[in-house]
Structure formats: C-alpha cells, structure tokens
A and B are shown apart, each in its own frame.
Chain A
C-alpha cells in the first residue's frame, strides 16, 4: 500500500512522535512510502506536488490553512487531489483533526480537514467517509501504527462521531491512571511533584473527560502525563487547547467540568459520601521521605 504523508501548518511533532515507534522499520516494511517529510521515501515533495503519484493512504499532519504553499504549490489543492485518489485519509494529530494549537492564530482561515474545533465543516467534507481522525498533540505512534495495520488487513476501524477509532478513543485518559484510587476516594494532590493524590481537583487534570488511551497504551512504552504527575491537557479533544491548563476551574470548590457522562448531582452525592471518610493509607505517602517523619 502506498502512503503519501503531507504537512499543513505543523510543528512536525507527529512526524517525530511516529519515529518513536519501537518497531518502525518492521512496520514500514508493509508499506511503500511515496513521500514522507523526514523518512527515506520514493519521491520528493516537489514530485508529489507536480506529478500524479500513487496514493492508497493519505496522511495529513498539521492544520489546513488557505493559501499555504509548499514547494511552490498550493498545499490544499494537492491534498484534495490525493484525497480523491486515496482509499483512506488519516488526520495525524489534533491540528489536522480539529485545528488544534495553530488554529488559535487565525480560526477563520486555519482548521482541521472536516472539523473546525467541534463544528463539522472543512475543505475535505466531500471525502468525509474516507477520513479517520487520530487526534493527540502529538499523535501516539502506536495509534497510527494500529490504524495502518488495520487498513492493510482491509479492516476499517469503527469510529465515534468525531471520526476517532473506538478501539483507541472509547477509553478516557483517566482509565488506567495510577491515581484512580485517589479519584474514587476524593483525595486531591496537595501540590505538584507527588506520587499521591488526584490531579482533577486542583491541578487542572482533564483525564476524566478526555478520550484517549494514554494510560492503556503508554507513551514511549513507559509512561503518561498523569504518571509523571502532569495534568492531562485534553489534547485529543476538539476543545484543545483550553486556557489555564494547570489549574482546575471550580464552582463552589467543585470542578466545573464533570467526568464524562456523570450527572452533576450523581457526582456530588458520591463524592460527598467518599469525602466524609478519612482513609489514612490514602493520606499517607506511598514511599515516606525522611522529611515526612
């Protein structure tokens, strides 16, 4: 299967994230890279722009901007050309999916392939049926590899309303987080730099309402933001980036955004009960430091 990888407005983060795939060479053996921005490939960008090259899977990294030129050609025009040819189109990362960070600069003229934030519109609407969105800032290399392998087996992934494969995005980032028990019993992290406590109450963690398998398929095979004590920044969602990311917006000291699908009243009832207990184990350090004594 022939792959063409083209870039809109991007930081190259998806390209570089993909390079972290642990079995990259083996994975690529199954495909022909007609063009890729960094990896060895059959054709230059100029050739992609000027010729009509084979393309079964079109991968787009970066946001789409009107009048963006690369190699002296209008990028969007060439994307549409190959979109018509390709059997599948993959939006690699949040920018190509929803507009992401780069959309913030000029939301009128910069956005995703078929979504502008969460609004369904965009320059590739005619090819919507072919599109698979793989948001994430950046994309997780295993997520992309997984979809490529499905397509190679002629299986088209089932997706949600935002065209994200369910096998990867049905989960919340919260699922598999090592801090889940602290969430259940409403024990917040006192501050950054701790192994203990949930980051949802004060540190701005968006994992309970962000779709992605960051804590199922770990990053770089070993970790995730929440495992490193960093709040989930919600980067797989069309609302990314929000503002004030390291602080939880609260109303009457209750997080303003509820965990996905949980009614506020239900949440308040359960958390009120959980909070009424003091569980010594959860309030103690996992590994005491000398200074804790």
Chain B
C-alpha cells in the first residue's frame, strides 16, 4: 500500500510517499516539488550581492547563508594569494550572531514542530507552542543589536563586519541574554544553567521539571524512545568555537576532507526524476548532520549517554538540539564578554574588482553544514553553488541504500511517520534554492 502525504508546517512543502507493508513503513520516497533558482540569479552579479541575496534563500536560517557567503568570498581572497585576516572581535561577533540564529531556530523547532507532532502520540497534554514566542523574539533582538535586523541582515562583509559596537550594545546584549536565560530556565529547563551543565545522563535529565524533560518523559512513557534510528553516521563540516569538523561512524571520530563532498542529482526533474532536491554525500555515503552530529563530534557527555542507550533515535535527536541551545547561550555569553572593543570591526581588503578566484565557505547552520562555493572573475560571480543541510538529512536513496530520514522511517510504525520525518527538521525552501 502506498500512502501519499504532503507535509505542511515545515519550511516550504515536501511530499512523502510511504510504502507500507505489513503495518510497517517499508520505504519512503521524499520529494520537494518547488524550485526557485537562487544560484542562477547570482550569476553575473557583483560578489558582494551574494551577501544580500543568499540570506533570502531562507527566512529561518538566512544568517547562516550570510556567514557561508562571506566565508566563501574571503576564501577566494586567500586562494588568490591575498588572504583576509579579520580581527578576533569581528570573528567573535560573527559567531555570536550565528549562534543566536541557531538558538531561535532550535526553540521554534522544539515548540512549533516537535511538540505538535508528538501530541497525538502522547497521553498527557504537552506544553503550548506559544512557549516559543518570547525566547525567539529575544534571541533575534540580541542578534539585531549587532547585525541591524533579523531576519535578513547583511552585516558581515569580506574584511569583517559593518557594525562597530560600543559598551552600550555589549551591555545591552549581556542584559538581554540574561533575560533569555531566565525564560529558558523557568520554562524549558526547570533548573538554573549551572545545575543543568552538571547533568551527564538521561536519569538526571528526566528528573528536571521543565518542558524539555517533560517531553523526554512523555516519549519514554509512550514508548517512543527507541523510534527513528538511522545510519548512526554523522558529519560536521563547519569550523566554529563550539565544534570542529569531524566524521563519526560507530562513535569513532575522524578528520574530514571537504573535497570528498559531492552532490548527486540523479533523482531530480532535470534527470527525469521526481524532485528538485539534490542529494549531498560524503565519500559517496549518506550522513546525518545537525545538532546530534555536533554533539557526537564534541564528545558531549549527556548526549553520548543518551546515544549509548538509544543510538541515533528520535529521543537523542531531540535532546541534542535542545541541549545545544543551552551550550550556545553559555558560549554567546563567553564571546560577548571576550569582545575587545578597541579592535577594528573591518579591515579593507584588496578591491574585489581585482579578485578572480574560487572560494568555499562552510558553516554549521541549525540543521548542519551549509556550503557555498563561488567562482569570481574580476569580482563578478561566474558560478555559485550551494549545498544545504536538508540535502544531507533528507537525501533520497534506494531501499538498499536509503538517506538518513528514509533510514529512520523504514521499519517504523506508520503512526510514527510524522514525528520521525519532522525530527529531521525539513527545510524545503533551502533544499530547493
């Protein structure tokens, strides 16, 4: 039996055709029906226009696109023998605002995506989705102190950042961050950050009183803790203060080589297929990316403890993402305090009109690695190529070699399809850029 579904309430729209055999999902064909052609409008544009256009690929993770774009152009400068050294202050500001975008993303996902999808499977009434509103608006407000606005800032530019904050913005940010932390402590965590950071196993986590542990407990009570296991292979490609690139298979960490990343378009309409989504692969294999991958790469004690019991199941995926929110807040505070405002915000690089080179920019976006590749001729974009996180997680393989989300769905109870699918936080608008 084939059950066709159009998945709404994600970023954009996806279509899943579930093949159901003996009350189990035997296979799931995932397709993305829309196309926008963002790479095409970049061709022929001056390089800096990528800083404005690429964030508009995605309303929820546009800042990650901005960071990937600026890294790509700066990497082209390095390739041309004219490397750009941004100040530690500019680097810290870029990390702070990127992390704030991750925070609002994670909170939206937990309250607006995960909770409504879990509700039909749980006996108790789950926390209200409106729990997202205040922390989301506050994260974006802190982001805007430096980046001018959220969504769709364009404040990172080859050579640094456009803003030059004073102690005022630094203090405002620290004050608002304290407010944000208070909200998370009272609603999400149910304990203060210092106590939370001591937690290293699932028992201690489930003993808390916030929305996070409530959801974990509800999953256990309703027999959902083991569902949604995938390949148990993870990939991190972006270099950040909180995580470094790594490939993890069978809990073994290995270095990665970005040249081993490839795209496969054999399922796309252009090749007579059924989707606009291309697959992203590393050494020809599918990997899961995002907060769980980053937790494994960081050797995070709490997530490794949950992983030891449930592997890469839904429960680990959810816990990793909420847990990362707390780590991000702590790291944002450290970076804010470390800002040396005496440093320059921007150092003018060689005029871009003299730049003819190729560059690659990789950042860890909320859902995993985001890759921008650019080819410039005299400062004009000749080619722009983007690989988004959803191309990793929602890659479309075969029954024998399924993509990560497909693998997690195969063998599952059909009633669990929605929450498993959504646990990968599908971003259709990114995929079909």
Contact = CB atoms under 8 A, between A and B. Distances in A.
Whether chain B is bound by chain A comes out as yes
Interface of A: 9-17, 19-22, 24-25, 37-40, 44-46, 68-72, 101-102, 104-106, 137-138, 191-195, 214, 219-230, 233, 241, 243-247, 287, 289-291
B221 interface: no
B149 interface: yes
B129 interface: yes
A255 to B, nearest CB: 17
Interface residues of B, number: 66
Nearest to A13: B59
Contacts of B429: 10-12
A24 B133 contact: yes
A105 B57 CA distance: 13
Given A46-B8, A193-B346, A246-B48, A222 B164 contact: no
Interface stretch (B37-45, B246-254, B392-400): B37-45
A101 B144 contact: no
B11 interface: yes
A225 B152 CA distance: 10
Given A105-B37, A229-B155, A243-B46, A221 B141 contact: yes
A230 B172 contact: no
Given A20-B137, A138-B152, A220 B144 contact: yes
A71 B14 CA distance: 10
B148 A137 contact: no
Given A37-B9, A244-B46, A245-B52, A11 B62 contact: yes
B270 interface: no
24 contacts: A10-B429, A13-B151, A15-B59, A16-B151, A22-B137, A38-B108, A40-B116, A44-B8, A45-B6, A46-B6, A46-B8, A138-B151, A193-B160, A194-B346, A219-B149, A220-B137, A223-B145, A225-B153, A229-B164, A230-B155, A243-B45, A245-B48, A246-B49, A291-B344
Contacts of B58: 11-13
Contacts of A226: 148
Contact of B148 (A102, A106, A224): A224
Given A16-B59, A37-B9, 12 more contacts: A11-B429, A12-B429, A13-B59, A15-B59, A16-B151, A39-B129, A46-B6, A68-B34, A102-B36, A137-B56, A225-B154, A228-B147
Given A229-B155, A244-B46, A12 B133 contact: no
B113 to A, nearest CB: 9
A174 to B, nearest CB: 15
Nearest to A103: B41
Contacts of A244: 46, 48-49
Nearest to A95: B56
A230 B13 contact: no
B89 to A, nearest CB: 10
Contact of B140 (A25, A220, A233, A245): A220
A46 B41 CA distance: 31
Contact of B348 (A39, A104, A191, A220): A191
A9 B145 contact: no
Given A10-B429, A16-B151, A229-B155, A193 B141 contact: no
Contact of B36 (A105, A222, A245): A105
B33 interface: yes
A271 B57 CA distance: 39
Nearest to A70: B13
A223 B344 CA distance: 21
Nearest to A285: B164
B6 A229 contact: no
B277 interface: no
B176 to A, nearest CB: 9
Contacts of A227: 148
